[in-house]
């Protein structure tokens, strides 16, 4: 049952939307992955390789397999990206690596800490495509790294800030892992460890499947950053072929589905992907995921005042999910700040009152056999909460000067 994976732009197009692609710095279309300020892009990136792959590379270059392990350890355990600093590797091996591969590192351009100290937002520059964000969220003993999978997103969910950016580019496996490594360095400087990974930053992870899975495998390696599959969650807006592929894969990660509406009519308005993969198909794919992977799915449901928060919605939410093996996570809407440059207005959606949120939760909890949780968003003051990740895209400069 191998369905050819679609590209992000194709999915957006078939959902009834024009694919949104913006020019990159070079003015070329974004999917090549090549930007003007990206050099050596064709050389394999050692940061995006599994220990096994690094061992094979070492053997190919005439070295013993354990040299590959050492490489992995330098990059992922010791956080060293300079081949010249990997002093226990033979100089000839390092020279060969330097001419035939690269070790990428994301440039961090900003870091903001929330007032309560429970969220830290990191901004990284992606050559030729703008920026992505990652957030480190603290909750008791848990330190969750919320990572991005794409620059922008093609799915255009109406309530989501990232959806306004359009789709710029898929991140490479190394770029996904590198966000994680940066958050790990920050945590370890504070004597803490990252304990969980959620793919809930910018982008639709299942539309960047191969890079996503490679990154999850790298982050899972026991001796490396060591986040077991049980502590990793992929969140999807409902890209059904991706859910089915993940169900068939041997990677034991959790799955969260952003349901967000209880009728196809409303869901198709809010999340255009529903036009191609309506609720019934989505629920069936979720069941397949549970039956093949044995992990219950989490349904995320964003509460928007007067849009998704009525008593009827609460009852329908409980009924729709009744037969599944799942959890329900309610997320009060995080309002979007107007984006000054480009004139994007603040969102037309509003967060319901606390009273309404609690009433909604009670109705669902009384009617549903499943666990119902309410997510208290962290980092709202630094625009780091769910759906608030937005960056001005990297456009072609109009004022080209000669210097
Ligand atoms: N594309 C993936 C992951 C990114 S969004 C997905 O859709 O699941 C992560 C979560 O944030 C999703 O559940 C999404 O519905 C939610 N979200 C988006 N905008 C939001 C907002 N402004 N307030 C609260 N949650 C939001």
What digits encode the pLDDT tens for the residues 215-258?
Answer: 999 998 754 556 666 799 999 999 999 999 999 999 889 999 99
> 208 in ligand 1 pocket by Cβ < 6 Å?
no
Angle, alpha carbons 131-30-236 (nearest 5°): 65
Instruction: Tell whether the torsion through CA atoms of 212, 108, 143 and 204 is positive or negative.
Output: negative
The rounded Å distance from CA 289 to ligand 1 centre is 20
**Closest listed residue to residue 122, CA positions, set 187, 171, 217, 169:** 187
Structural domains for the chain:
8-31+105-402 (3.20.20.70), 48-100 (1.10.150.530)
> 302 in ligand 1 pocket by Cβ < 6 Å?
yes
How far apart are alpha carbons 177 and 212 in whole angstroms? 9
Q: What is the pLDDT of residue 378?
A: 73
Residue 150 and residue 171 in contact, taking contact as beta carbons nearer than 8 Å: yes
Asked if residue 342 has pLDDT above 90, the reply is no
Residue minimizing CA distance to atom 13 of ligand 1: 258
Comparison of pLDDT for 395 and 93, the residue scoring more: 93
Asked if residue 403 has pLDDT above 80, the reply is no
Q: What is the pLDDT of residue 164?
A: 86
The rounded Å distance from CA 386 to ligand 1 centre is 5
Residue of 63, 133, 300, 335 with catalytic role: 133
77: burial class by Cβ within 10 Å (0-12, 13-18, 19+)?
middle
Residue of 146, 157, 184, 386 with catalytic role: 386
- Block residue for tokens 């928007």: 304
Shortest-distance atom of ligand 1 to CA 349: 22
DSSP state of 21: B
Q: What is the pLDDT of residue 363?
A: 98
> 268 in ligand 1 pocket by Cβ < 6 Å?
no
Asked if residue 172 has pLDDT above 90, the reply is yes
> 303 in ligand 1 pocket by Cβ < 6 Å?
no
Q: What is the pLDDT of residue 375?
A: 84
Residue minimizing CA distance to atom 19 of ligand 1: 387
Residue minimizing CA distance to atom 24 of ligand 1: 333
Work out the pLDDT band at 379, boundaries 50, 70, 90.
confident
Q: With b meaning 16 or more CB within 10 Å and e meaning fewer, what string describes 112-123? A: bbbeeebbbbbb
> 300 in ligand 1 pocket by Cβ < 6 Å?
yes
Least confident of 5-19, 51-65, 323-337: 5-19
The rounded Å distance from CA 331 to ligand 1 centre is 9
- Strand ranges in 90-166 using DSSP code E only, listed in sequence order: 107-113, 119-126, 130-139, 142-146, 150-152
Using one digit for the tens of pLDDT, what is the confidence trace for 26-76? 333 333 333 334 445 679 999 999 999 999 999 999 999 999 999 999 999
Q: What is the pLDDT of residue 343?
A: 47
Q: What is the pLDDT of residue 41?
A: 60
> 387 in ligand 1 pocket by Cβ < 6 Å?
yes
The rounded Å distance from CA 42 to ligand 1 centre is 33
The rounded Å distance from CA 396 to ligand 1 centre is 29
222 included as an active-site residue: no
386 included as an active-site residue: yes
């Amino acid at each position: 049952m191998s369905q050819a994976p679609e590209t992000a732009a194709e999915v957006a197009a078939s959902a009834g939307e024009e694919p949104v692609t913006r020019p990159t710095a070079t003015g070329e279309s974004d999917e090549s992955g090549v930007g003007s300020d990206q050099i050596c892009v064709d050389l394999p990136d050692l940061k995006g390789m599994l220990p096994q792959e690094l061992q094979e590379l070492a053997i190919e270059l005439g070295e013993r397999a354990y040299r590959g392990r050492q490489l992995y350890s330098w990059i992922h355990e010791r956080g060293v990206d300079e081949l010249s600093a990997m002093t226990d590797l033979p100089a000839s091996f390092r020279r060969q690596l330097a001419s035939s591969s690269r070790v990428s590192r994301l440039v961090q351009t900003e870091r903001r800490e929330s007032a309560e100290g429970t969220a830290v937002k990191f901004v990284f520059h992606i050559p030729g495509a703008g920026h992505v964000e990652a957030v480190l969220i603290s909750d008791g003993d848990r330190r969750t790294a919320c990572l991005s999978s794409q620059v922008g997103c093609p799915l255009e969910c109406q309530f989501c800030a990232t959806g306004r950016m359009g789709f710029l580019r898929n991140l490479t496996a190394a770029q996904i892992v590198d966000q994680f490594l940066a958050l790990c360095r920050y945590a370890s400087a504070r004597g803490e460890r990252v304990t969980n990974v959620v793919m809930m930053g910018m982008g639709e992870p299942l539309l960047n499947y191969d890079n996503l899975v490679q990154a999850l495998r790298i982050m899972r390696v026991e001796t490396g950053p060591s986040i077991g599959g049980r502590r990793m969650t992929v969140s999807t807006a409902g890209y059904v072929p991706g859910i089915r592929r993940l169900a068939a894969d041997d990677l034991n990660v959790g799955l969260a589905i952003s349901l967000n509406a209880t009728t196809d009519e409303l869901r198709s308005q809010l999340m255009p992907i529903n036009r191609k993969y309506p609720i019934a198909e989505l629920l069936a794919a979720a069941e397949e995921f549970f039956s093949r992977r044995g992990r219950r799915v989490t349904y995320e449901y964003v509460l928007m005042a007067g849009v998704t928060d009525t008593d009827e919605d609460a009852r329908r939410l409980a009924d729709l999910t009744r037969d599944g093996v799942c959890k329900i996570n309610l997320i009060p809407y995080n309002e979007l700040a107007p984006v000054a440059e480009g004139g994007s207005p603040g969102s037309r959606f509003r967060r319901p009152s606390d009273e309404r949120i609690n009433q909604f939760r009670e109705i669902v909890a009384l009617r549903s056999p499943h666990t119902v949780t309410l997510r208290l968003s962290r980092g709202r003051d630094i625009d780091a909460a769910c759906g608030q990740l937005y960056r001005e895209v990297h456009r072609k400069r109009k004022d080209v000067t000669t210097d």
